[in-house]
Amino acid sequence: MAIRVQREDFDVGAEITALTEGNPSIGGVTSFVGLVRDMADGERTSAMTLEHYPGMTEKMLAEIDAEAHDRWPLEASLIIHRYGRLEAGDRIVLVIAASPHRDAAFEACRFLIDWLKTKAPFWKLEEADDGATRWVEAKETDDAAAARWETNTGTRKAG
């Protein structure tokens, strides 16, 4: 389990290598990379500023990650979330789940990003091309994606 909240960009390939190196039990690795879009809710955006509360953010990400490890037989996982001002096309988030089996890796990765989108304490301020700004509000689609995990317990680890 690894959690990082940082301003700096990340190298996806290097992160996967570092996470899986030396662990022959891993049979499947899935990853999700979130990027800043140039369009949000039908409006052009040029950048996004992400804010968070240090300490609280890392604690919540660790809880989300621990929940994934409780639900699926993961060998390793990684969540990197950036903060600060990011421009369209920049990477915001990386989630990696590694398991002996691909199904568990796929499900855990999906769970991690769904819960991260709805439970992690990040605030996003979008900048339009004309300089106008607006705070991003929670989306019903994100809430619906996360809600499915309230009843879906995943593939429990063999005891």
pLDDT, tens digit, 9 for 90 and up, residues 61-94: 999 999 999 999 999 999 999 999 999 999 999 9
Residue 102 resides in a domain: yes
Residue 156 resides in a domain: no
Contact assessment for residue 64 and residue 116, using Cβ atoms and an 8 Å cutoff: yes
Residue 73 resides in a domain: yes
Residue 59 resides in a domain: yes
pLDDT at 156 over 80: no
Which domain, by its residues, includes 97? 2-151
Span 82-110, average pLDDT: 97
pLDDT digit string, tens, across residues 6-61: 999 999 999 999 999 999 999 999 999 999 988 776 778 889 999 999 999 999 99
Residue 158 resides in a domain: no
Residue 148 has φ and ψ, to the nearest 5°, of -65, -25
pLDDT value at position 154? 57
Residue 157 resides in a domain: no
Instruction: Name which of 144, 126, 125, 137 is nearest 39 in CA terms.
Output: 126
Residue 129 resides in a domain: yes
Q: How far is CA 51 from CA 10, 48, 94, 146, in A?
A: 18, 10, 17, 22
Residue 159 resides in a domain: no
pLDDT value at position 143? 61
What is the number of domains present in the chain? 1
Question: What DSSP element (H or E) covers 77?
Answer: strand 76-82
Tokens matching residue 48: 């996004």
Question: Residue 36 sits in a domain of what CATH number?
Answer: 3.90.1170.40
pLDDT at 159 over 50: no
Instruction: Name which of 68, 58, 65, 78 is nearest 5 in CA terms.
Output: 58
Tokens matching residue 87: 């421009």
